Amino acid sequence: MFVNGLQRSRLLSRARLLTRRSVIRGLCTSLTIGHLTACDAIRSTHHTPQGRLELLLQEPTTIDPGLVTHPHEATVTEALFEPLIHSTSNGSIRPGAAKSWEVSTDGQVYRFSLYKDRRWTTGEVVTAEDFTWAWKRNLSPEFGATLRDLFFPIAGAQDFAKIGKDPKQLGISATEKHLITAQLTHKDPSFLSRTGTSPYMPLPRGEIEGMGAYWTKPGNIRGNGAYKLVQWDKGRGISLHPNTHYTGPPALFRDVVIRFPDSNTDLTTAFRTGRAHVAEMSPAAYVAAKATRDLAPLLHLYERTGSWFIVLNTRKPPWHLPRIRLALSLALDRKQLIATAFDQIALPSTRLVPSTVLSNPNTDPPNIDAARRLLANAGFTGRNRLPTLQLTYHQTDQGDRITEELARQWQTSLGLHVEPDARDWAAFRSFTSNKPEFDGYQATWNSTYRHPKAWYDEIWNSDVDRFGSGWANAEFDNQLNIASTTTGTNRHNAYLAADTILNMESPAIPIANFASAFLIRPIVTSFDINPVSGAIDLRKVKIAASN
């Protein structure tokens, strides 16, 4: 027996260009979500796009959905291809190529119904087999997609990725022309969010099998998204036009031009002298722009789904006391830490889980007085100082600076002495793999899909303890269990409760969240990114006037 999972809506799907082979399958998947009812009103083939949008990005190495790894690559890929769904914060889902889906009562079987009117760029209907063929191709050991582990909840996927067993043993099937069935090994609430990532996008089998690596060139490539690739001048730029066969929310621009900065020109100069509305900043370009009077006001940072933090050994006194760990967190000036120590683009964070994954306003701002009171309540006053904290880290210039600034702040505010324990990469990898006796160490986590499970269940669950902190909390685990067995508001509230416990107990000290930086001209009135891939979301970019 199947139970409806979400409610109808639509989005994108259609694309394709001429090819030597015509063995094309399309897989258009439908999705449904209760609070999204406006999509039908948006969906119109009579929409007149705005003028030109110009972006300044690095040149992609690939736009193959199975291989993209960088934001500038994902920006193009996500304009050309549409997955089954789109994930938003808090584990919510917006429809993509899927019209609706059903989930079995045991949570192990998903059936996706595709829009029957969705077509590739060349006009052929997108079918279920276009998706299932793409999934099997990306999973295969011969191809080895960059993020193929995103398929591992599917029955047989992990074994198939290793040794390429009979694909018929995979829990993936195109049971009807517009119906996909996925059989999981166990219930996994994150599965829907995973289907919104690039490895799950449909692919043009005919072109890939007939043209090999040349299938992504203009004139060959076909997709099912809102845009089509019409030009790619190596070293110069890319041009995208609306996909006229696309029946989801229409493309907002008649022309999207992506220019590549000249190797002899830095990004800030290229932005200042060019016509780009938006330029994506590298860390070096970001530093330069911040120091430039006319560009600094145009800089905007967007949070990603990754974090830096300090893992503490909660088995070892005095770090076993939650109030001590919370005191260390409250005493930090993270803005100063980022300004002093970071090469990479980052935003200060007082929470272990980014707000792009779970929004929770219940956070404590830095408060040295409160931190000192917590230490006093734990008996650390006067001559009874905290013991030295040995901080282990991978030795890099940034790692050195982070450790130095943490040591300075904690010494000044709490009288805590930090002993640096710098290790080269091999030694640090060995340390984090074996997790011997330690006080604390620098760590990062970056989720490849947008769902709370990737953080709470896969890191801090007592049975997982991914970072070896030794922390366990029965009520936290109970809330995760509630989240895994409920849906909607109940699941969200369970994760919020778990988040509050996690931040009060502080098994790790949050420092900063990963971020992307852009120079954006004032004429751009709306802008956003996909926080997982870092891609510019062309559905959310608006300019004040067409050009």
pLDDT by residue (tens digit) across 53-72? 999 999 999 999 999 999 99
Number of domains in the chain: 3
Q: Is the domain of 273 the same as that of 312?
A: no
Average pLDDT over residues 107-125: 94
Strand order in the sheet with 109-114: 2-4, 98-104, 109-114, 179-183, 172-176
- Do 272 and 358 sit in the same domain of this protein? no
* 535 within domain boundaries: no
Q: Please count the helices (runs of H) and the strands (runs of E) in the chain.
A: 15, 20
The residue ranking higher by pLDDT, 498 or 165, is: 498
In a domain, 498, yes or no: yes
Burial class from Cβ neighbours inside 10 Å (0-12, 13-18, 19+) for residue 434 reads: exposed
Note whether 196 and 12 are within 8 A (CB). no
pLDDT at 24 over 90: no
* Residue whose pair of structure tokens reads 């076993």 in the numeric block: 320
Q: Do the domain assignments include residue 541?
A: no
φ, ψ (nearest 5 deg) of residue 256: -115, 115
Q: What is the pLDDT of residues 99-111, one digit of tens each?
A: 999 999 999 999 9
Would you state the pLDDT for residue 22? 30
pLDDT digits (tens, 9 = 90+) for 243-295: 999 999 999 999 999 999 887 677 888 899 889 999 999 999 999 999 999 99
- In the block, tokens 């439908």 appear at 30
Q: Which of 199, 229, 259 is the last residue of a domain?
A: 229
Choose the final residue of a domain: 170, 199, 229: 229
Q: Which residue has the higher pLDDT, 545 or 379?
A: 379
Pair (309, 294) in one structural domain: no
The identity of residue 245, as a single letter, is H
360 domain residue, yes or no: yes
CATH number, domain with residue 442: 3.10.105.10
Q: What is the CATH number of the domain that holds 201?
A: 3.90.76.10
CA pair distance 535, 77, nearest whole angstrom: 9
Q: Which residue, 449, 431, 474, 385, is CA-closest to 89?
A: 449
pTM, 2 dp: 0.87
Average the pLDDT over each of 38-52, 183-197, 410-424, 500-514 and give the range with the smallest value. Answer: 38-52
- By residue range, what is the domain housing residue 137? 2-50+59-229
- DSSP letters for 299-347: EEEEEEEEEEEEEE-TTSTTTTSHHHHHHHHHT--HHHHHHHH-SS-EE
- Residue 177: is its pLDDT beyond 80? yes
Residues 283 and 419 in one domain: no
